[in-house]
Chain A
Amino acid sequence: MKGIKDRVAIVGMGCTQFGELWDKNHRDLVVDACYEAFEDAGIEPKDIQMAWYGSRETGFTGTQLASALKLEYIPVSRVENFCAGGTDTFRNACYAVASGVCDIALAVGVEKCKDHSGGFNLDILEPFDRSMVEWDLPPSSQFAQLATRYMYHYGWKYEELKRIFAMIDVKNHHNGTMSPNAQFRREITVEQAMNAPIISYPLGLLDACGVSDGSAAAIVTTPEIAKSMRKDYILVKAMALTNGAGQAILQPEYDFIHFPEAVAAAQSAYKEAGITNPRQEIDLAEVHDCFAITELITYEDLGFSPRGKGPEDVEAGSFTLTGNLPVNSDGGLKCFGHPLSASGLRMIYEIYHQLQGKAGPRQVKKADIGLTHNIGGICGFFNCTVAVFGKP
C-alpha cells in the first residue's frame, strides 16, 4: 500500500468571505472561491480535468459546480459527508491525481446555511429509518452530552470546566480578529463566554460556532507538475477518513469522553505521514471546534494532550498563537461559522498559507507540518477526517 504521502500537491487555493452572505447564492460563492484558486495556481478553468463538489444543502449533482464555472463536459462528482464533507471532497480529488487518471483536479466545498432556518435541515436518519423518532434538536445537544460526561468523568466542577471552554473560545476569537474572511472578528472575554446564555447545558452561546455561508476551493496536481508551476506548493502527507458504525449507542462501553472516530482517523493519518509524536512533530493544527468541548476532546484524540489533560494544556496556553502547538490560527469554526462542506477546505486554505509563510499577522513561527481535522454527525455515527500537510 503506497498511501498518499508526497504524491499530491496543492498549487492553488481560494476562500470566500464567510458569514451571512444574503446577497450571494452558492454559484456566486463557488465562482469567487474557484477564480481565486485559478489565479493563485496560474491556470484557467479549462485546465481542470476532473472536479469534486462538496455540499449538503445547495442542491444535487456535480452540475451545480459545472454550471457555475462552465466546466465543459468533464466529470464532476458531488460529495456529501456532513461536517467532514469539505475534506472528503478534497480527498477524492487527491486520490484521482495519485491514481494517475488526471493531472489537475479541483475540489470545492460550499454551503448556503443561512438560506435555511437553523442553518441546515436536521433530517438525520440515524439510528432510525424515516419514522422520525430521533430527537429533533440542533447539534448542540449531541456535543453537550460529551461535555456533561467529561465533567462527570473527571470530576470537574461546572464553573471550572466552563472556564476552560471560555479560554478556548477567547483564544479562537483573538485569532479570528486577524482573519479578513472570518464571520466574527472581535475579541471576547472569559467572563463573557462563561456568562453567555446556555444553548444546551452545559454549553453556552459562546461555546458554539456560528452558522454561515461560504466556499473554499483547492487545485491539486502531481508534485512533478507542481514544481513547474510554483516553488511554494504544499504536499499532502496523509488523508484519513473514518465513519462511526453506531458503536457509541449500541455498546454501553463507549464513554462519551472521546471520539473513537477521531482517534482512529488520527492514528491512520499519523501512520501514513510517518508521525510518531504528534505533539512534537506537528507545528500547527486546524481542528473542528464546532463547540468548545469538541476542540478540548480533540486535543486528546489527536494526541496533542494526554487523555484528560487537555484542560492543563489550555491553561498553559499551549494552543494559542504563541504556544508550542497553535490550534485554529485563523479563528476556527468559532470565527468563520460552519458552512458544513466548506469548512474542511477553509481549514486547508489556512494551513496552505501558514506553510507558505503567507498568513500575515497570525503567521505561526515554525510552520512545516500542519494538520486539519473535521468531525460531524451524531454520537455513534460521526464521520471524521484528519489530513496532514507539509512543505516540499
Chain B
Amino acid sequence: MVGITSYGAYVPLYRLSREAIAKGARGERAICSFDEDSITMAVAAASDCLNGIDRETVDGLYLATTTSPYKEKLGATTVAMGVDLRQDIITADFAHSLRAGTAALRSAIDAVKAGSAKRVMVAAADCRLGTPGSALEQNFGDGAGALLIGDSDVAVAVEASYSVYSEILDVWRADDDTFVRSWEDRFAATRGYLEVVREAVSGLMQKFGFSPSDFAKVVFYAPDARRGVDLARSLGFDAKTQLQAPLFDVLGNTGAAFPLMLLIAALEEAKAGDRILLASYGNGSDAFVLQVTEQIEKIRDRRGMKGHLASKKVVDDYKQYLIWRGLLPIELRKETVSFLSAPAAWRERDANIRLQGVKCQACGTVQYPPQRVCTKCHAKDQFEPYRLSDKKANIFTFAMDYITFPLLDQPIVTTTIDFEGGGRMQCYMTDREPEQVRCGLPVEMSFRKLPMKDGIHNYFWKSIPVRT
C-alpha cells in the first residue's frame, strides 16, 4: 500500500487584514515576513512533517512552487539540505503551475509504487503577488504544506488518481511579470476552473466506480470561496457536510500549496476509514481518491494547519506589507565592501543550511559553527556532526537595534541562545514582539532569508519564540 505516511504545514505568523488592502474587505490573509519565501516556508512545513521521523529514511524531496526565488537553480536542494536529508536522494522542482503541488504528489506516489524510492517528501509552498490593491492581492495567501509519501506506516492510502490537462490563459505570469495576471473572471471560472475540475473529478469517479456519497470529505482547490461551493454542488456533493472549508477568511489562496494545505486541514479532522477526494486546478486538474487508515492517530502531534493558523499576529499596516514584499522601496544602509563568496557558502553549507554543529568525541562539547580544534579539550579533528535545527533553546542574552533598517522590522533583535543538550549560537531573532524578548525565553530555530547580496539569496537560521 502506497500513501501519505506523514503531513506537516506552515502558515507564517503574520496575517494581513484585508481591510488594510481595501476598505470593507473581509477576513485576513497569511503573509510571509520580510525574511521568508517559498523555500523557507517549505523547510518549515517539511520540518513539521518530519517530526519524529528518521530523516535518513527519506529518499527524495520534491519542491512545488510557482514562486521559486531563482529562475535557474534548484530550490529542492536548499529545502532538502534545510531539513538535513541525505545527499544520495532524488530532488526536483515542480514549477510554473498551481497544479505543481499535486503533480509532485502524483510523481512521488508513482516513484514509491515503482519501487525507485521508499519515502519521498513533497513540499509545496507559494507566496504569489497580486497587483497592489487588487482583488488577487486580497485573495492570495502565503503558506506551505508537506506530505511524506511511503509504502509502510501509511496513514492515508492513495486508491486512485486521474488527471486532465487544459491549454488556457486564465491565470498566468509571464517571465518578466512581478504580479499574477488573470482574464475576466467569468471566462476563467466557466471555461477554466469549473469545467476542467469537473471533468477530472467525474472522470475519476467514473473510471474507478465511485459516487459522491462514497466520500466523507472532498478537498477542492478553489480560486475563491464561492467557486468551490459551485463546483461541489455541480458534481453532486453536499457543500455543507462534505466540502472542506477553503479557509479564505483566515489564510487565502496559497497557490501550488493550496490543495495540499486544504488536504492537511481535512486530515486533521479525519478518522480511520474516511474516504477523501482531492482535486487541484491549474492548466488542468489532478484528482485523487484517498482513504484514511488507523495510522493517522500516530501522526497527530504536528503543528499542522490548526496549530499554525491559531498562532498569529495581524498586521494592519498595508505599508508594512508592501515594504516586506519589496514593493515599496526603503532606504537601506549603503552597501559596504563585503561580498558573499559562492565557494565560502559552499564550504559552509552544512553549518549554514543544515545548521549542523559538531560534538567533540573526546570531551562531548557541542560547538557551533563547526571547528577543527576543540574549544574545550583542544583535541584536533575528533568531531561528529550534530544537528541543531530541531533543538529547543533559551535566550541567554539579547540586544535590540533601533538604528538599522528602520522601516523593515524594527527593532532588529539579536540573540545569544543556548541549545538544550549543548551548543551556543548567536543569531538574529524574528517573528517576535519586542516586549516578549527576555533572558531565558524558550526559542526554536527557523530557516530564513538574509538580505540578498550580489544576486544570491542567502539563507540562514534565526531564533523565534516557540510557536504555540
Does A201 contact B338, Cβ atoms closer than 8 Å?
Answer: no
Q: Kindly identify which residue among A121, A133, A138 contacts B352, using a CB–CB cutoff of 8 Å.
A: A133
Contact flag A122-B336 (CB < 8 Å), given A138-B403, A250-B424: yes
Closest-by-CB residue of B relative to A124 is B338
Given known pairs A121-B338, A123-B337, A137-B414, the reply for A249 and B424 (CB within 8 Å) is yes
- Of the listed stretches B197-205, B222-230, B342-350, name the one at the interface; the rest are far from the partner chain: B342-350
- Which of chain B's residues 365-419 have a Cβ closer than 8 Å to chain A? 365, 367-369, 371, 375-376, 396-404, 411-412, 414, 416, 418
The answer to whether the Cβ of B70 comes within 8 Å of any Cβ in the partner chain is no
**8 Å CB contact of B338 from A116, A122, A140, A146:** A122
The verdict on A130 contacting B344 (CB below 8 Å), with A198-B402, A249-B426 known, is: yes
Contacts of A246 in B (CB 8 A): 371, 375
In-complex Cβ contact of B334 among A117, A199, A200 (8 A): A117
Total A-B pairs, Cβ < 8 A: 142
Residues of B within 8 A of A136 (CB): 338, 450-451
Q: Give 27 pairs: A residue, B residue, CB < 8 Å, sorted on A.
A: A117-B336, A118-B333, A123-B337, A128-B369, A130-B340, A131-B340, A131-B344, A131-B345, A132-B340, A132-B450, A132-B458, A133-B450, A135-B428, A136-B451, A140-B399, A140-B401, A145-B416, A198-B411, A201-B401, A247-B375, A249-B424, A249-B425, A249-B426, A250-B368, A251-B375, A252-B423, A379-B416
Question: Could you say which residues of chain A place their CB within 8 Å of the CB of B396?
Answer: 149, 252, 256
Residues of B at under 8 Å CB distance from A? 333-334, 336-341, 344-345, 347-348, 351-352, 365, 367-369, 371, 375-376, 396-404, 411-412, 414, 416, 418, 422-428, 434, 439, 450-451, 453, 458, 460
Which chain B residues border A147 with CB–CB below 8 Å?
A: 399
Q: Are A152 and B397 in contact (CB under 8 A)?
A: yes
**Choice from A129, A144, A197 contacting B399 with Cβ under 8 Å:** A144
**B337: chain A residues within 8 A (beta carbon):** 121, 123
Contact B345 A141 (CB under 8 A): no
Instruction: Pick the residue among B401, B422, B453 that contacts A200 (CB under 8 A).
Output: B401
Given A148-B399, A201-B402, the answer on whether A250 and B439 have CB atoms closer than 8 Å is: no
- Verify B397–A148 contact, CB threshold 8 A: yes
Cα of A127 to Cα of B424 in the assembled complex, Å = 12
B426 pairs with A128, CB closer than 8 A: no
Q: Which of A179-215 contact B (CB under 8 A)?
A: 197-201, 203
CB distance from A250 to the nearest CB of B (A): 4
Q: A130-B341, A132-B338 are in contact. Are A201 and B375 (CB under 8 A)?
A: no
A117-B334, A135-B412, A250-B424 are known; give 10 further A-B pairs, CB within 8 A: A131-B345, A136-B451, A138-B401, A140-B399, A149-B396, A198-B400, A199-B402, A200-B403, A249-B424, A250-B368
Query: Which chain A residue shows the least CB distance to B400?
Result: A201
A221 to chain B, nearest CB (A): 38
Please give the number of chain A residues whose Cβ is less than 8 angstroms from any Cβ of chain B in the complex: 44
Q: Is the CB of A129 within 8 A of B347?
A: yes
Q: Is the interface of A mostly helix, strand, loop or mixed?
A: loop
Contact (Cβ within 8 A) B439 A152? yes
Question: CA–CA, A117 to B335, complex, Å?
Answer: 9
Residue of A nearest to B416 (CB): A145
Q: Check A132–B336 contact: CB distance below 8 A.
A: no
Main secondary structure of the interface of B (DSSP, over half): mixed
CB pair B418–A128 under 8 Å, yes or no, is no
Contacts of B450 in A (CB 8 A): 132-133, 136
Residues of B within 8 A of A225 (CB): none
Q: In the assembled complex, which residues on chain A have CB atoms less than 8 Å from the CB atom of B397?
A: 145-146, 148-149, 152, 256
Whole-angstrom distance from the CB of B433 to the nearest CB of chain A? 13
Q: A118-B336, A131-B344, A131-B458 are in contact. Are A252 and B401 (CB under 8 A)?
A: no
Interface residues of A (CB under 8 A from B): 116-118, 121-123, 127-138, 140-142, 144-149, 152, 197-201, 203, 245-247, 249-252, 254, 256, 379
User: Which chain B residue shows the least CB distance to A257?
Assistant: B397
Contacts A122-B336, A127-B369, A135-B427 given; does A256 touch B400 at CB 8 Å: no
Please, which residue of chain A has its CB at the minimum distance from the CB of B399?
Answer: A144
For A141, list chain B residues within 8 Å (CB).
399, 401, 412, 414
Residues of A within 8 A of B458 (CB): 131-133
Cα separation A123 to B341 with both chains bound (whole Å):
13
The answer to whether B398 and A133 touch across the interface, beta carbons within 8 angstroms, is no
Of A133, A147, A251, the most chain B CB neighbours within 10 A belong to A133
Contact A135 B414 (CB under 8 A): yes
**Which residues from B are CB-within-8-Å of A249?**
368, 416, 424-426
Across-interface contacts of A247 in B (CB, < 8 A):
375
Give A144 to B404 CA distance when docked, in angstroms.
14
B340 contacts A201, C-beta separation under 8 Å: no
Contacts of B347 on A, CB cut-off 8 Å?
A: 129, 131
Determine if A132 and B439 form an interchain contact, defined as CB atoms under 8 angstroms apart.
no
Question: Which of chain B's residues have a CB closer than 8 A to the CB of A252?
Answer: 396, 418, 422-424
Q: Which residue of A lies closest to B371 (CB)?
A: A250
Q: Give B404's nearest chain A residue, CB to CB.
A: A137
CB distance from A235 to the nearest CB of B (A): 38
With a CB–CB cut-off of 8 A, which chain B residues contact A123?
336-338
Partner of B351, one of A128, A134, A135: A128
Q: Which residues of B contact A144 (CB under 8 A)?
A: 399-401
B89: shortest Cβ distance to chain A, in Å? Answer: 24
